[in-house]
Structure 1
Amino acid sequence: MSTAGVLLQASALPPLEARILLMHVLGWQRTELITRDGEALSADSVARFEAFSQRRLKGEPIAQLTGKREFFGFDFEVTPDVLIPRPETELLVELALELIADVSNARVLDLGTGTGAIAISIAHSRPDARVWAVDRSSAALEVARANAARLLDKNTVTFVESNWTAKLDPSLLFETIVSNPPYIARDDPHLEQGDLRFEPRCALTDDADGLSAIRTIIETAPFMLAKNGALWIEHGYDQADAVRRLLQVRGFTDFRSMHDLAGIERCSGGLFTA
């Protein structure tokens, strides 16, 4: 007889991953793995768990197997068409919310929205804000729109298919622009390791030095910023100095970098007053 306890003990996966997959297969909450530990499982459930386990052992990300990833307290739908939201990106949401804290009906732009995690989290925390979310991938925008419809009581996010700001109305001006662009260099070995192997390459790397998308955003963002508007960008662990220099050359003031919970300079940004 197969039970939850038996399957978890026999699994070749790390215990946390095995528990996540088994909860997904059974539709159980975490506490049920304890309270229903000895309950007999159907052959179908056992087969599904073993199939998911084999896929995970071959490297497929947990988020793609379960179809969701938690971000800023919400479960976002995840598909192979979008970047999997990471905890460190929550820093961008926190920064944006801090920047618009005293601004009524603030306008916020999320460039390269993917799942919509950043834009939707901001919109949920600030229902009065007007949020635009841009992505060049129509498939990613389908995922983002579905997430917005499910997670927002009132959808205040406008989704636009565009290569950065190219197709946005030039009369729009934003108090805050945030972006988690592709910033991994094309020759970075991490692209061939772990979860990154299964995520959309265009969301991970610019197929250049890792800074080309960031250069484009810093160059064009001032045309879309209101006076004293702010731009904040997530970047790689070793790119903070380069991003600060780009901000300075473009005319941003009060430019600085913020550390994530691991102590890494994860986001850099500044104000544009010109």
Structure 2
Amino acid sequence: MIDNIDAIGAGVTVGALQTQSLLDALDNRVLLCHALGLNRVGLITQSERALSADEANRFAALVRRRLDGEPIAYIVGQREFFGLPFEVGDAVLIPRPDTELLVELTLERLPPSGRVLDMGTGSGAIAVAVAHTRRDADVTALDVSPEALAVARRNAAANGVRVAFLQSDWYAALEAKAPFDVIASNPPYIASGDRHLSEGDLRYEPVGALTDHADGLSALRIIVAGAAARLKPRGWLLMEHGYDQSAAVRQLLTEQGYTDVQSWTDLAGIERVTGARTH
């Protein structure tokens, strides 16, 4: 049993490191694969191999970063989303399984050769997942951050999809764009001062992609107010939001005259996405 970082040194076997107790089993396996350049099968078949000093130092450094609280996705530089690999870094949020609901709802409402807009694309996860699943779709994705757009473009290229990326502060650069069938967004929705911003993985993620620095609804208000003018008749607006915001978002949509206002639950049974249609 390896129970402290100092015990990770040259000569320690791959198998011994797989039973170490510093991290949970999944984190340990991911970091060990990353440090050694092996897949899960390789860990099994090379369990008796002793690590070199460089390999041991590399793995120990990764363990230290994880013990300090850095997210696994940032340490290894990648996260799977909707069955696809995505590059991630400190310029973008880490894609989460809950957001796959937004992708599924978008795909269900997208007509043949339909047009989709992903607002606040970050890593490009939503846009790339849609474009990969629906090769006929015309997908546009925007973000105000040039650093995030650079990551998103690399993810589109790596996954072999065509997405039109646009630097824009919400709708500012969209005046010349034709109407969309679906607008989807996972905007900043955590209220300023929320304790979750100083806990867990969120401590390492870009704060501007997490919070609107206000009541958590300001970005959602902007999206709701401007979507109808950029949607085709009977087009859909779909937005991810916080666990306690569904009623407020439904009210925003109702007040702006949208129809078929409704919310959908994530895997935990929490209302995570709310949407509606234009007239």
Question: TM bucket by the smaller chain?
Answer: over 0.9
What is the CA distance between 1:104 and its match in structure 2? 2.2
Which residue of structure 1 aligns with residue 22 of structure 2?
A: 12
TM-score (structure 2 length as normaliser): 0.94
Match of residue 216, structure 2, among 205, 210, 227: 210
Which residue of structure 2 aligns with residue 141 of structure 1?
A: 149
Would you say 1:36 and 2:42 are equivalent positions? no
**2:19 counterpart SS class:** helix
Deviations along 1:17-50, whole A, 9 cap, x unmatched?
A: 0111001111111122222111112211111110
Which residue of structure 2 aligns with residue 261 of structure 1?
A: 267
Distance 2:99 2:155 in 1: 17
Would you say 1:250 and 2:256 are equivalent positions? yes
Stretches of 4+ moved more than 3 A in 1? none
Q: Residue type of the partner of 2:98? A: E
Would you say 1:226 and 2:242 are equivalent positions? no
What is the CA distance between 1:236 and its match in structure 2? 0.4
Which residue of structure 2 aligns with residue 113 of structure 1?
A: 121
Deviations along 1:151-178, whole A, 9 cap, x unmatched?
A: 02xx421000001111113442000000
Gaps of 5+ in 2: 1-10
The 5 Å alignment of 1:113-192 reads 113-152=121-160, 155-192=161-198
What is the CA distance between 1:80 and its match in structure 2? 0.4
What is the CA distance between 1:69 and its match in structure 2? 0.3
Distance 2:91 2:195 in 1: 21
RMSD: 0.9
Which residue of structure 1 aligns with residue 62 of structure 2?
A: 52
Deviations along 1:217-272, whole A, 9 cap, x unmatched?
A: 00011111011000000000000000000010011100100000111100000101
Distance 1:170 1:242 in 2: 31
Q: Residue type of the partner of 1:138? A: P
Distance 2:250 2:224 in 1: 10
**1:257 counterpart SS class:** strand
CA contact (8 A) 1:129 1:156 kept: no
Deviations along 1:131-158, whole A, 9 cap, x unmatched?
A: 0000000000000000111102xx4210
Distance 1:124 1:10 in 2: 38
CA contact (8 A) 1:137 1:161 kept: yes
Match of residue 36, structure 2, among 26, 36, 42: 26
- State how many pairs are aligned: 269
Which residue of structure 1 aligns with residue 73 of structure 2?
A: 63
Q: Residue type of the partner of 2:144? A: R
Which residue of structure 2 aligns with residue 201 of structure 1?
A: 207
TM-score (structure 1 length as normaliser): 0.96
Gaps of 5+ in 1: none
